[in-house]
Amino acid sequence: MRITIKDIAKKMGVAPSTVSRALNKKGRIGKATRRKILRAAQEMDYHPNVNARGLATNRTGNIGIIIDKRHRPLLSSFYDRIILRVEEETGNQGYHLIFATTDGGPSPPRCVQERYVDGLILMGCDISEELILCLQKGIPIVLVDNYLDGVNSIATENIGGGYKAVEHLIELGHREIGFISEPLSDLNFRQRFEGYRLALKEHGLKYDVDLVAEGSTRPDHGYVAMKRLLERGRPSAVFAANDATAVGALRAMTEKELRAPDDIAVVGFDDGEIASHTDPPLTTARIFREKMGALAANRLMELIKNPDQPLVQIRLSTELIIRGSCGGARLR
């Protein structure tokens, strides 16, 4: 049988209105009383009745996540940890998640057209600016791993992360440092490329266009980009715009009987699950994906409660994780 607010109130010896204030974090109530009520609700396995809440508040109790189709399946993509943290944070407040995909076009997904959601988290740079601005006119939204003027967003400090990765290679003595990436039409990769160029400039190294190669959006993009780079010559180090690109680079090097870090040092970006399982393990800039998910979820829930809030745009710094692929681990 479903546990209700009245059941909790009876157990605690307080009024149902007091329990309601504690659960909804609204109204005046002592901190100690709130903690006791929340503990009792958890022990009694209380779950809010979303349908009843929706009738009272004119809300659905649903939050939508929109992502480009190319990132499916979600639980093996870059966004898996972000989504799991969003689910945890929103679930704690009684929300349910609805997933929708887009092909990059301007049409809002069905969950928005039919008003199934109270707010949206839009993940990735693949979602068109036209669609983002269209959605923002009618519903609270937060961008994740993307940035657009005038829109709430949680993203990575890509320029600084790229700079730190390349600076580490320079400190190891490398002077001919390549850059490989998926197409630079993607904002994140373009910013990491900017960090690469800035590090070269500030350390007195000349930018050489022949040391830059783009792959495609296909799964073998890193392999393709590294092959293109090796056809022009052999840099002493390579900064890959993400870990998937770095993995492809290692495969292309193996075909040429080259090994990291002895022949070419390699640094990636993301610190996904694969990074510690490559041969050698991959040095990479860690993105704090769980934190991105938590910040995005809580920001969206704030906007749902009160849409008239100042703009918030957060950039999370990265941490360079030094493993075997760059040679730096040998010096530690």
Residue 55: its pLDDT value, please? 46
Q: Bin 313: left if φ > 0, else alpha if -120 < ψ < 50, else beta.
A: beta
Task: Give the 3-state secondary structure of residue 9.
Answer: helix
Residue 82: its pLDDT value, please? 96
Q: How far apart (Å, rounded) are the C-alpha atoms in residues 289 and 300? A: 17
Residue 73: its pLDDT value, please? 61
Half-sphere exposure of 71 (CA within 13 A, CB side): 23
Q: Do domains 5-47 and 158-287+320-331 have the same CATH topology?
A: no
User: How far is the CA of 318 from the CAs of 11, 102, 241, in angstroms?
Assistant: 47, 28, 13
Task: Give the 3-state secondary structure of residue 64.
Answer: strand
Residue 107: its pLDDT value, please? 85
Contact (CB, 8 A) for 295 and 236: no
Q: How far apart (Å, rounded) are the C-alpha atoms in residues 51 and 42? A: 20
Q: How long is the chain? A: 332
Residue 228: its pLDDT value, please? 96
Instruction: Please state the domain extents for the chain.
Output: 5-47, 62-156+289-317, 158-287+320-331
Q: How much of the chain is in helix, strand and coil states, percent to nearest 5?
A: 45, 15, 35
CA angle 94, 297, 95 (to 5 degrees): 15
Which amino acid type is present at position 198?
L
Residue 275: its pLDDT value, please? 96
Half-sphere exposure of 297 (CA within 13 A, CB side): 24
Pick among 3.30.390.50, 3.40.630.30, 2.60.210.10, 3.40.50.2300: CATH of 158-287+320-331: 3.40.50.2300
Per-residue tokens: 249: 């680079």
Residue 53: its pLDDT value, please? 56
Strands 141-144 and 119-123: parallel
Q: Which of 305, 298, 306, 317 is nearest to 142 (CA)?
A: 298
Give just the sign of the alpha carbon dihedral 260, 261, 263, 266: positive
pLDDT per residue, tens digit, the chain (332 aa), is 678 898 999 998 999 889 888 887 777 888 889 899 999 988 888 877 655 555 455 789 999 999 998 887 666 689 999 999 999 999 999 899 999 998 878 888 888 888 899 999 999 999 999 999 999 999 999 999 999 999 999 999 999 999 999 999 999 999 999 999 999 999 999 999 999 999 999 999 999 999 999 998 778 999 999 999 999 999 999 999 999 999 999 999 999 999 999 999 999 999 999 999 999 999 999 999 999 999 999 999 999 999 999 999 999 999 999 999 999 765 55
Contact (CB, 8 A) for 266 and 241: no
Alpha helix stretches (DSSP H) within 93-241: 110-113, 129-136, 158-171, 187-202, 221-232
- Specify the CATH superfamily of domain 62-156+289-317: Response regulator (3.40.50.2300)
Question: Looking at domain 5-47, does it have CATH number 1.10.1510?
Answer: no
Q: What is the pTM of this model?
A: 0.83
Which amino acid type is present at position 23?
L
Residue 219: its pLDDT value, please? 80
Q: How far apart (Å, rounded) are the C-alpha atoms in residues 198 and 7? A: 62
Q: How far apart (Å, rounded) are the C-alpha atoms in residues 71 and 207? A: 32
What is the b/e burial string over 200-239, where b = at least 16 CB atoms within 10 angstroms of the residue's CB? Answer: beeeebeeeeebbbbbeeeeebbbbbbbebbeeeebbbbb
List CB contacts of 295: < 8 A, sequence separation 6 or more. 154, 314, 316
Residue 200: its pLDDT value, please? 98
